[in-house]
Amino acid sequence: MTVNTDLTAVLDRAAAGGRITPEEALELYRSAPLHALGAAADTVRRRRYAGTEHIATYIIERNINYTNACVTACKFCAFYVPPKSDKVWIRSLDDILRRCAETVELGGTQIMFQGGHHPDFGVEYYEEHFAAIKKEFPQLVIHSLGASEVDHMARISGVTPEEAIRRIHAAGLDSFAGAGAELLPERPRKAIAPLKESGERWLEIMEIAHTLGVESTSTMLMGTGETNAERIEHLRMIRDVQDRTGGFRAFIPYTYQPQNNVLKGRTQATIFEYLRMIAVARLFLDNVAHIQGSWLTVGKEAGQLSLHYGADDLGSVMLEENVVSSAGAKHRSNRMELIDLIRKAGRVPAQRATTYEHLVVHDDPANDPVDDRVVSHLSSTAIEGGTAHPGLKIVEAS
């Protein structure tokens, strides 16, 4: 197949709303001038959000990691330990509920409940925990897990993924976080996560979830040795499922962190590769509503820049996070700083819900929040007592 090498024509067509092919996307990713690529992607964003194109969003959430025991042993992961290790820990339900109470106290609206693939945790474990969270904190959205966890829990419990999804959804799961996508094409996936399900299986389970009314996000881990073509193939695989289901709310690329894992940083993605991916994703994923910048892994300045390359969301003030922090992600922020970052990027900040409705639009700096306890990405596993905010009075769960 002959690829259209007239990049200007391809960019103009994409900016006008035309669909581009994977071959064209690869050419743009490899060769399009950076500023022209970003301008085309920003044009698409502005058109999609006409009327609110001046706004960029963020969310307040907490990632509660329930265990570090995992059987998949992914080579890029610095968080997991083997299930028989003396370093295994499992959070009690009371501990989890205290963390949920803390999240509500700090204005958080969403819980990401994520951890290792524990060999004893089947569907029943997640049913119990989601039901308990929803009973105590019905206002919290449980945006958690991903197809990998579903595949694992279904196998442990001897049920189909469809039954597993139905049961955890009934217990309280609201949507999937898109975890475990990593790289979907076969070669890079086997290289970094040989014990995980295939990329096709990951997408199959997500498609089942979408048909059952459980939406999700989609993600990409960049910088573990994959080729440019494999990155674009990852996008192609997501777009094909989205054409059938419409269930992916957002696409979130993030970069591999090199510390404390088997890969040891032998390959990494540059900031320019990351920005190009944000832009190409906005042009190629014409059926996915939102593109999120990942300031945690690429830094605050690159996060700001992503808002000019097609991203409409700057992720979260995540009150607790241990997984990528374990691999060396050291960028930290707070709600006031994130609002300032968005504003200095020329956009009006807005706190959003899981489903992207605007909860609070910060259109007047005089009315900005001043609570300095709303701090992002503190790792709790290294803190005595296991709370990310030792100074905050914990609201006891009933």
127 marked among binding-site residues? no
124 marked among binding-site residues? no
CB contact at 8 A, 151 and 117: no
Per-residue tokens: 380: 């709790």
Per-residue tokens: 378: 């503190």
176 marked among binding-site residues? no
* Secondary structure letter of residue 299 according to DSSP: -
Q: Beta-strand (E) ranges in the chain?
A: 55-65, 110-114, 141-144, 175-176, 216-222, 248-255, 290-291, 313-318, 333-334, 348-352, 358-361, 375-376
CB contact at 8 A, 181 and 221: yes
CB contact at 8 A, 113 and 144: yes
Dihedral sign of CA atoms 331, 334, 335, 337 in order: negative
Strand partners, 56: 349
Which residues are within 8 A (CB) of 44 and not within 5 positions of it... i.e. 6 or more apart? 14, 15, 17, 282, 283, 286, 310
100 marked among binding-site residues? no
The binding site for S-adenosyl-L-methionine comprises 76, 182
The binding site for (3R)-3-methyl-D-ornithine comprises 294, 316
The binding site comprises 70, 74, 76-77, 182, 294, 316
The binding site for [4Fe-4S] cluster comprises 70, 74, 77
